[in-house]
Amino acid sequence: MVLSDFFDAKLFISATITLVVIMDPPGTVPVFLSLVGRKPMATRVKAARQAVLVSLLVISLFAVAGQAILAYLGIGIPALQGAGGLLLLLIALQLLTGKGGSEPEASDDVNVALVPLGTPLLAGPGAIAATIVFVRQADGHLGAYIALALAIVAVHFVLWTCMRFSGVVIRLIKESGITLLAKIAGLLLAAIAVELVANSVKGFIDGSG
């Protein structure tokens, strides 16, 4: 009973599993490779680190002040889903048409780490919404807040590990495999984007009903 005042194990497990399922660390590898797979290892490592840090920053920001930010701006979760879906759709179209991953400028490396890897792929509407829900469940209990913070850090460590060691996959699939992954990742991202937009529309309809 005293331990739960300092650490809510149940919330930690629930939040970790939920965020892992939503953020899908193994599923980020194909997209990561399609965007930076042709670049030097040092660039891939830097992109992985920046993407995870951006995601961690965004998720942490919404964990601390998400409800206040959304309320102040008058933005609902459906609007976040719609915006994220449209942004992912643009990236998906670039991958499918072969326009992604062919420009090696350093500025592009930074842009890729920020968008779409950091957000909305990792720190997307689903992860943000789930984090806000868990903050509400914490309901002012210190142990619950600590558990949620550790869960967020743990999930991002898993994400970083998957992307950091994606070079093993590169050595196996070679250049032609990366090209194929780009097409598959584009198709998957397009499906995720359509799902987000559909959920956004459904959310607006339910909210107006």
- What integer pLDDT is reported at residue 47 of this predicted model? 92
| pLDDT at position 156 | 97
What is the structure's pLDDT at 103?
43
Query: Looking at residue 105, what DSSP letter applies?
Result: -
Whole-angstrom Cα distance, residue 154 to residue 56? 10
Task: Tokens for 121, please give them.
Answer: 């792929």
Mean pLDDT (whole number) for 135-146: 89
The predicted-structure confidence for 85-115, as pLDDT tens digits, reads as follows: 888 888 788 778 865 444 444 445 557 888 8
- For tokens 């660390």, the residue is 25
Closest C-alpha to 52, from 149, 133, 117, 125 = 117
State the Cα–Cα distance between residues 206 and 201, nearest whole angstrom.
9
Mean pLDDT of all residues belonging to the chain: 84
Largest CA distance in the chain: 57
Distance CA 102, CA 36 (A): 9
Instruction: For residue 129, give the 3-state DSSP assignment.
Output: helix
Q: How many residues does the chain have?
A: 209
Answering whether pTM is above 0.85, one says no
What are 46-69's pLDDT values in tens digits?
999 999 999 999 999 999 998 888
